[in-house]
Amino acid sequence: MFKNLLENHSYKLSAIWALVIFWLCSMPGNYIPSVSWLELLSFDKWVHSGVFFILLSLLGFAVKSHQQKNNLFVFYFFLCVLYGGALEIMQARVFSERSADWYDAIANSFGCLIALFLNNKLSKLVFK
């Protein structure tokens, strides 16, 4: 079932996930919990890495399931990195009660980089 979902709907899932990321990043800052122990563990940066890892992994599954060239996946990598940077710029200039954190952009890019390196292994696990 999971394999079938990824094979047939990975682009839709990617778009939905990108919208979820946008919604979370546009949420006013006062709605985001501030817990000091999370800051000690850099939990926020792991969350940023994780959501962008998922985004690029879903796009990787889409490329694989539609038998497209890996060049497209590399394009998606750069697109996701730019998306993460654009969200930080929007947090600084557009969204209320938010501010840009360039370490978040680095964490977003790190999640994309991990997905880029693990793409073949993840695809083999899912599409056995």
Q: 97-114, pLDDT tens digit by residue?
A: 778 888 899 999 999 999
Residue range 70-84: mean pLDDT, rounded = 96
- And the tokens for 15? 């778009």
Task: Check pLDDT > 80 for residue 27.
Answer: no
- And the tokens for 73? 């996946």
pLDDT, greater one: 23 or 81: 81
What is the torsional sign of CA 65, 117, 85, 34?
positive
| Residue 40 confidence (pLDDT) | 47
| Residue 9 confidence (pLDDT) | 85
Instruction: With cut-offs at 50, 70 and 90, classify the pLDDT of residue 8.
Output: confident
| Residue 60 confidence (pLDDT) | 95
pLDDT, greater one: 33 or 75: 75
Distance CA 49, CA 46 (A): 5
Task: Give me the residue spans of the domains in the chain.
Answer: 2-27+36-126
Q: How many CB atoms lie within 10 A of CB 72?
A: 14
Taking each helix axis as running N to C, give the angle between helix 70-93 and helix 2-26, from 0 to 180 degrees, rounded to the nearest 10. Answer: 20
Are 60 and 123 contacting, i.e. CB atoms less than 8 angstroms apart?
Answer: yes
Q: 28-74, pLDDT tens digit by residue?
A: 765 555 555 555 457 888 999 999 999 999 999 999 988 899 899 99
Query: Which range has the top average pLDDT, 21-30, 38-47, 119-128?
Result: 119-128
Residue found by looking up tokens 């946008």 in the block? 22
Does the pTM exceed 0.85?
Answer: no
Q: Nearest CA to 127 among 70, 64, 56?
A: 64
